[in-house]
Amino acid sequence: MDSIELARSVRLTALDLCHSKRASHIGGAYSVADILAVLYADVLNISPLTVDNPERDRVFYSKGHACTALYAVLNACGYLKGYDLLKEFTVNGSYFTSHVNHQIPGVELSTGSLGHALGVACGTALALKRKGNAGSVFTIVSDGELDEGSNWESLLAGAHHALDNMILIIDYNKIQSFGSVEEVLALEPLADKLRAFRWQVTEVDGHNHDELRKTLAESSLARNGLPKAIIAHTVKGKGVSFMEGQLAWHYKSPNDADYTRARAELEA
């Protein structure tokens, strides 16, 4: 499956999951869908057979509330053999909790309490460097999540330890739970802040697969003493017209009518 088909499949599966289980956070799943699709289709040195290989690339998915997108990409890429994601999602006792669970094959860290994965990823990247391990460490954070001070401590540490095997991807959809990022707690000028923290910064259209592929691949290869931050400009709810840029779809679950309309748009 190419990255475009994979992204469509991720959005369709997230829609099924959120609709059938009355689950939340479809807006944040849709803003990150293209990033995940390009990573898993074209960039990562990992496969269902190498999830435990020490030399693998790592993905730390910090925005654990948007679990449906991660579960969907792992499912489409064959990591979840023996599981029935659609049936098991949110069922009591199943691994497929409504925030990301590390017991699932291919998941490095349980997340959902925002602000924790970047620190763990930096520690992992430092350990890999010390061992001479070639793996890259990708971390995906949301923009509202950057309100958590723990991220800024991790940014300091990443630069201090020259973690050039670290690639931070910011899903900059400009919306958090209860308002826009700029009105709740402004991040701008974000690129300048990251550069001042001594991270190499690239800004991309987070829905343009060619741009994502090029930037992610180059960032993974460049071992130049600098950790990399990719600011991916995205749209919350991307792919479904009535969800795009709408705060309500941070939390809202699609009803039957929403489901039918969204499915038709995604399949068109």
Q: Give least dist CB 171 to ligand TPP, A.
A: 5
173 binds Mg ion (CB under 5 A): yes
- Which does residue 207 touch among Mg ion, ligand TPP, none (CB within 5 to 8 A, set by kind)? none
Q: Which of 24, 26, 31, 7 is closest to 235 using CA atoms? A: 31
Among the residue ranges 2-10, 90-98, 115-123, 172-180, the one whose residues contact Mg ion (CB under 5 A) = 172-180
Query: Applying CB under 6 A, which residues contact ligand TPP?
Result: 25, 28, 31, 63, 65-66, 112-115, 142-145, 171, 173, 175-177, 236, 250
Report yes or no: 24 and 18 within 8 Å, Cβ to Cβ: yes
Residues contacting 10, CB < 8 A, separation 6+: 29, 33, 36, 37, 69, 72, 73, 76
Quote the least distance from Cβ 186 to Mg ion, whole Å.
Answer: 13
Classify 185 as helix, strand or coil.
Answer: coil
CA–CA dist 50, 46 (Å, integer): 6
Judged by DSSP in three states, 58 sits in strand
Q: Is 145 among the residues that bind Mg ion (CB under 5 A)?
A: no
Q: Is 142 in the site for Mg ion (CB under 5 A)?
A: yes
Our CB check for Mg ion shows the closer of 61 and 83 to be: 61
Q: What's the CA gap between 150 and 115, in Å, rounded? A: 6
| From the list ligand TPP, Mg ion, none, partner contacted by residue 163 (C-beta under 5 to 8 A by kind) | none
Binding partner selected for residue 254 from Mg ion, ligand TPP, none, CB under the kind-specific 5 to 8 Å limit: none
Nearer Cβ to ligand TPP (99/198): 99
The residue count for binding Mg ion (CB under 5 A) is: 6
Among 64, 119, 135, 144, binds Mg ion (CB under 5 A): 144
Burial of 257 (0-12, 13-18, 19+ CB in 10 A): exposed
Q: Report how far residue 50's alpha carbon sits from residue 76's, in angstroms, rounded to the nearest whole number.
A: 16
- Of 108, 143, 164, 211, the one binding Mg ion (CB under 5 A) is 143
CB-based contact 262:7 (threshold 8 Å): no
Residue closer to Mg ion, measured from CB, 46 or 100? 100
Residues that bind Mg ion (CB under 5 A): 142-144, 173, 175-176
